[in-house]
Structure 1
């Protein structure tokens, strides 16, 4: 795509350049780029790839928001267990499944083990991958607005 989507992303946890481009396309409302980027992300299911960067960014951005004084999770902890119920209920079933196998490594939330989630995504039909991607993009976009 020959055009740019100007935006100052605050989500520094998303490190992959094309993943950041996809987020900017979402924020700009560019459907053409969003479709192109979705396809790339759903095909890039390798460690440090586009989908991995989006999952990692989503989890690292959300974990600090999920901390509550009454709940002290032990680490490592799976994402599904530490997410608030209202957030988990918002996720579609394939996303819930991925978040059950995705692990936050430490209380500082500096690293995420996404390998099991990437394996699960490879086993899912493309339609389910799309649902997971939509939930993650929505969550990341929510932090940007």
Structure 2
């Protein structure tokens, strides 16, 4: 594309340049770029790839939101077990399935092992993957402000 989507992304965990570009397109609501980026993301299920970067950034953002100061989480943990039930209810069942196999590591829960998620996504139809991607992009967009 020959244009840019200016915004200040709050989610520094998204390492992949195309993933950041897609998120900026989502925030700018640029339909053409959103479709192009989503198509790329649905096809790129490699570790460290586009979908993986979005997934990891979203999980880290969610884990930070889900932290309960009264109950100290211990890591490693499955992302699903960290989520409040009312939050899980808002997600598509396929996204919840992905959270069940996604582990969060590190002393403060700052690393994500998405290998099982990528494997599961690879076994899903493109349409099913798009349902998970929709939840991820919606969550990332909610956590970022347009500058």
TM-score (normalised: structure 2): 0.95
Q: Distance in 2 between matches of 1:59 and 1:98?
A: 11
Give 1:115's aligned residue: 115
Equivalence map 1:74-113=2 (5 Å): 74-113=74-113
Tell me the residue number matched to 1:141. 141
Residue in 1 that maps onto 2:131:
131
Q: In structure 2, the residue corresponding to 1:104 is in which secondary structure?
A: strand
Provide the C-alpha distance between the structure 1 equivalents of 2:74 and 2:110, rounded to a whole number of angstroms.
Answer: 15
Distance 1:69 1:30 in 2: 38
Q: Tell me which residue corresponds to 2:54.
A: 54
Structure 1 residue 125: Cα displacement? 0.5
Structure 2 unaligned spans of 5+? none
Point out 4+ residue stretches in structure 1 off by more than 2 angstroms: 69-74
Q: How does 1:4-43 map to 2 (within 5 A)?
A: 4-43=4-43
- The TM-score with structure 1 as length reference comes to 0.96
Output one character per residue of 1:56-110: Cα deviation in whole Å (capped at 9) or x when no partner.
1011112121111333333211111101111111110110111110000124122
Shift of 1:50: 0.4
Greater helix share, 1 or 2? 1
Structure having greater relative contact order (Cα 8 Å, sep ≥ 6): 2
Which structure 1 residue ranges, 5 or more long, are not aligned?
none
RMSD, matched Cα: 1.0
Q: Size of the alignment, in residue pairs? A: 145
- 2: CA distance between counterparts of 1:112 and 1:6? 28
